[in-house]
Amino acid sequence: MSDYKYMLTERKGSVGIVTFNRPEALNALNEEVAEEVTDALRAFDADPSIGCMVLAGGDRAFCAGADLKAIVGQDFESAYHTDLGAYMDQVAHLRKPVIAAVRGFAFGGGTEISLMCDIIIADTTALFSLPEVTLGVIPGAGGPARLTRAVGKAKAMYYVLSGQNITAEEAEQMGMISKVVEDNTHLDEAVKLAEAIARNPRLAVMAGKEAVNAQAETPLIPGLKLERRLFHGLFSTHDQEEGMTAFAEKRKPSYKNY
């Protein structure tokens, strides 16, 4: 977990914290950075002692987007052959929750990886953007798809086609992010929320994430059916019985440590 060039990793109880650490380039994404952030989060996801993860950046930038010097020479053949931009998709498929703690610039790929996370906590300095159209391309790591699902077609079209910046307040108002907090309190707030999530029964949290994602990504009825089956299935778990029994007995529950 500590052998990364551009990532810092830390454990705080049941919370795993991954921090971009390429300040000289405002945490811009090249192939190595994309692989490291994905692999660091995947390692925490596979760790049975971790219940929730936080992804953070630096003081000036969460992640300033793609390192253009690393991709300017790409042509269609090389981009298609290497599936450019696809590696970080794995962040969206992690089973445990990921909270993005955003301060400063989150441009291009920075906005896209924050949208891959389950919850976004941003301080008042956070600035989001999908500026790729101004460079002759479009966002290629899920930006248009995820932004449309988060804020609707009209708003997504406005920002994808103009490349204009989105302030933290604007992002919160249109449902793109979860919460705006005071300047430089984003990481504390994210960790506090992650700790609260990690205290909950692990299987229920994972099932809740799966249910919400399914509802966001599928038509209503299939999403409802999956949600119902996950709900039913949790009645076979130790934590469901313990949680409800403890509530009835007015005591603190003792959940299983998966």
Catalytic site residue 31? Answer: no
Catalytic site residue 112? Answer: yes
Give the per-residue SS3 of the chain.
CCCCCCEEEEEECCEEEEEECCHHHCCCECHHHHHHHHHHHHHHHHCCCCCEEEEECCCCEEECCECHHHHCCCCHHHHHHHCCCCCCHHHHCCCCCEEEEECCEEECHHHHHHHHCCEEEEECCCEEECCHHHHCCCCCCCHHHHHHHHHCHHHHHHHHHHCCCEEHHHHHHCCCCCEEECCCCHHHHHHHHHHHHHCCCHHHHHHHHHHHHHHHHCCHHHHHHHHHHHHHHHHHCHHHHHHHHHHHCCCCCCCCCC
Other CB atoms within 10 Å distance of the CB of residue 14: 17
Q: Which class for 8: exposed (0-12), middle (13-18), buried (19 or more C-beta within 10 A)?
A: middle
Catalytic site residue 227? Answer: no
Map residue 6 onto helix, strand or coil: coil
CA-wise closest residue to 78 among 31, 28, 111: 31
Query: Which of the 8 DSSP states describes residue 36?
Result: H
Map residue 105 onto helix, strand or coil: strand
Marked catalytic residue, from 65, 108, 109, 243: 109
Catalytic site residue 241? Answer: no
Marked catalytic residue, from 34, 56, 64, 66: 66
Marked catalytic residue, from 112, 122, 168, 189: 112
Marked catalytic residue, from 34, 56, 132, 208: 132
Catalytic residues: 66, 109, 112, 132
